[in-house]
């Protein structure tokens, strides 16, 4: 592995072209290529603390919460199922402002909640085929998430009925559920952003071969390194239903950016299953991937220099997204166990936020400052008209660490 890293770093020196030095993290579990220009911020420390707590006490760790959403100075709660004060006292030794950390007790660990949800998710998949007890609950058409503080699994559906509650009570008598009236999460792909060929980056139009410019399409997210070349990620649900989960024909689906008549690349790998909604796009000459995000019209080369992971997502933290339809918006993390029922088989571990989004933002990048977090998957909106118009809605995304593993790829970072 060390030899492979060295060879790739040497090969990447040839990419020090027109504007900066590149760096790569070769494995999904290795961030050694990430270079920070500044000392870790307090928010970065919260991310690190969350990951450390999950790794050290996996069977007891319940979660991390911002007392004031997005502002660590308001206080950070750290939950465990037992001996929480003792564990938080250990974490305080590694935190620059230990007085901000408060220990709380929670009834279940994240590991236990995930196990309980996995059982229901499998049963929900059977229900879609009309099998099992959950077939009585609108044939499995309900979403889920978890309240990590109370240990409850949230069952999210447009209309809650007593019969649905009864089915859950009989099928899972030892689990705790809370029923939430909510539209189902949707996926979608419209409208365009400025072309940015031949240097591609996150937040741009990612159109398929079957729809003309100005109609349905998705967005690009992050630049990755795979097969000894830079490539670009997007969402797998942007591909034709028959071309997902490895069932790709030859030639592969093509991808365009903007109104050009020449495709910039081809879909070579994708997965729409479990915690992953990602596709990897190889680039045709002269197009190249760049470790930037097209954040907005005044920040077209926003650098990505590190990445987060599912384990480090804190509830109440603020994460932002960008897409070719609605550009840039941010939202508070509401849950990290979201399980949408539409289109994704055995969906799990999506991050749910109160950010806005719309058709065509699918596949776009979720990030905060210079840290990559995930790939935009969809939205939850009551009036079925998603957009950034002050209409209360939610958006959700799949995590970048799951995507990198599934795509057999590594992040490309840009260090200006």
User: For residue range 344-355, what is the model confidence (pLDDT) as tens digits?
Assistant: 889 999 999 999
- For residue 372, which of 315, 313, 289, 324 has the smallest C-alpha distance? 313
| Same domain for 228 and 348 | yes
| Same domain for 210 and 167 | no
Residue 28 in this model has a pLDDT that exceeds 80: no
Residue 379 in this model has a pLDDT that exceeds 60: yes
Q: What is the pLDDT of residue 147?
A: 97
Residue at a domain's end among 90, 105, 120: 105
Which is it for strands 101-105 and 71-80: parallel, antiparallel or unpaired? parallel
- The vertex-108 CA angle with 103 and 113, nearest 5°, equals 130
Distance CA 322, CA 163 (A): 40
Q: What range does the domain containing 140 cover?
A: 110-181
Residue 26 in this model has a pLDDT that exceeds 80: no
| Same domain for 380 and 408 | yes
Specify the range with the lowest mean pLDDT, choosing from 182-186, 337-341, 376-380: 182-186
The CATH number of the domain holding residue 322 is 2.40.10.10
| Same domain for 239 and 131 | no
Q: What is the pLDDT of residue 27?
A: 36
Q: Pick the residue with more confidence: 245 or 259?
A: 245
Residue 35 in this model has a pLDDT that exceeds 50: no
| Same domain for 346 and 229 | yes
Q: What percent of the chain has pLDDT over 70?
A: 85
| Same domain for 318 and 383 | yes
Distance CA 114, CA 109 (A): 9
The total of structural domains in the chain comes to 3
Give 119's contacts (C-beta < 8 A, 6+ positions apart): 172
Are the CB atoms for 208 and 255 separated by under 8 Å?
yes
Work out the pLDDT band at 20, boundaries 50, 70, 90. Answer: very low
139-153 mean pLDDT: 96
Distance CA 14, CA 29 (A): 25
| Same domain for 176 and 73 | no
| Same domain for 191 and 176 | no
Q: Tell me the torsion sign for CA atoms 233, 239, 241, 245.
A: negative
Full 3-state SS string of the chain? CHHHHHHHHHHHHHHCCCCCEEEECCCCCCCCCCCCCCCCCHHHHHHHHHHHHHHHCCCCEEEEEEEECCEEEEEEEEEECCCHHHHHHHHHCCCCCHHHEEEEECCCCHHHHHHHHHHHHHHHHHHHCCCCHHHHCHHHCCEEEEECCCCEEEEEECCCCHHHHHHHHHHCCCCCEEEEECCCCECCCCCCCCCCCCEEEECCEEEECCCCCCCCCEECCCEEEECCEEEEEECHHHCCHHHCCCCCCCCCCEEECCCCCCCCEEEEEEEEECCEEEEEEEECCCCEEEEEECCECCECCEECCEECCHHHCCECCEEEEEECCCEEEEEEEEEEEEECCCCCECCCCEEEECCCCCCCCCCCEEEECCEEEEEEEEEEECCCCCCCCCCCEEEEEEEHHHHHHHHCCEEEEEEC
| Same domain for 100 and 128 | no
| Entry pTM | 0.82
Q: What is the pLDDT of residue 188?
A: 57
Q: Tell me the torsion sign for CA atoms 208, 214, 219, 220.
A: positive
178-185 mean pLDDT: 94
| Same domain for 153 and 86 | no
Residue at a domain's end among 166, 181, 196: 181
- For residue 26, which of 283, 372, 409, 373 has the smallest C-alpha distance? 409
Work out the pLDDT band at 32, boundaries 50, 70, 90. Answer: very low
391-406 mean pLDDT: 94
| Same domain for 48 and 26 | no
| Same domain for 268 and 393 | yes
Distance CA 141, CA 186 (A): 12
Q: Pick the residue with more confidence: 38 or 28?
A: 38
Q: Over the chain, what is the mean pLDDT?
A: 86
Work out the pLDDT band at 167, boundaries 50, 70, 90. Answer: very high
Residue 22 in this model has a pLDDT that exceeds 50: no
Work out the pLDDT band at 249, boundaries 50, 70, 90. Answer: confident
Cis status of the peptide bond prior to 286, with omega within 30 of 0: yes
Residue at a domain's end among 135, 153, 181: 181
């Amino acid at each position: 592995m060390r030899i492979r890293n060295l060879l790739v770093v040497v090969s990447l020196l040839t990419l020090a072209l027109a504007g900066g030095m590149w760096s790569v993290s070769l494995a999904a579990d290795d961030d050694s290529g990430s270079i920070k220009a500044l000392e870790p911020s307090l928010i970065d420390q919260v991310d690190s603390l969350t990951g450390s707590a999950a790794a050290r006490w996996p069977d007891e760790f319940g979660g991390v919460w911002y007392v004031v959403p997005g502002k660590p100075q308001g206080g950070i709660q750290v939950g465990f199922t037992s001996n929480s004060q003792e564990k938080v006292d250990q974490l305080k030794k590694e935190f620059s402002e230990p007085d901000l950390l408060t220990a709380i007790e929670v009834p279940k660990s994240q590991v236990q909640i995930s196990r309980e949800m996995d059982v229901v998710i499998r049963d929900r998949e059977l229900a879609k085929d009309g099998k099992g007890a959950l077939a009585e609950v609108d044939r499995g058409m309900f979403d889920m998430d978890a309240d990590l503080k109370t240990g409850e699994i949230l069952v999210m559906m447009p209309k809650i009925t007593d019969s649905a509650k009864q089915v859950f009570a009989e099928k899972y008598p030892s689990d705790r559920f809370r029923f939430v009236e909510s539209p189902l999460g949707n996926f979608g792909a419209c409208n365009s952003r400025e072309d940015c060929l031949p240097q591609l980056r996150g937040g741009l139009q990612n159109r398929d071969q079957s729809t003309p410019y100005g109609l349905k399409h998705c967005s690009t997210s992050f630049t990755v390194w795979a097969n000894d070349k830079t490539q670009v990620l997007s969402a797998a649900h942007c591909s034709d239903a028959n071309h997902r989960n490895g069932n790709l024909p030859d030639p592969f689906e093509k991808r365009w950016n903007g109104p050009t008549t020449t495709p910039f690349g081809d879909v070579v790998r994708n997965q729409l299953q479990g915690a992953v909604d990602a596709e990897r796009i190889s680039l045709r000459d002269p197009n190249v991937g760049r470790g930037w995000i097209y954040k907005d019209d005044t920040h077209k080369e926003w650098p990505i220099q590190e990445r987060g992971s599912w384990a480090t997502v804190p509830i109440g933290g603020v994460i932002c997204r960008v897409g070719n339809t609605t550009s840039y918006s941010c939202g508070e993390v509401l849950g990290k166990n979201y399980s949408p029922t539409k289109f994704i088989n055995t969906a799990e571990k999506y991050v749910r936020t109160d950010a806005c989004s719309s058709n065509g933002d699918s596949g776009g990048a979720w990030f905060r400052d210079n840290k990559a977090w995930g790939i935009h998957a969809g939205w939850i909106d009551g009036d079925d008209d998603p957009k950034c118009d002050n209409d209360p809605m939610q958006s959700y995304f799949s995590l970048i660490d799951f995507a990198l593993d599934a795509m057999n790829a590594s992040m490309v970072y840009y260090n200006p």
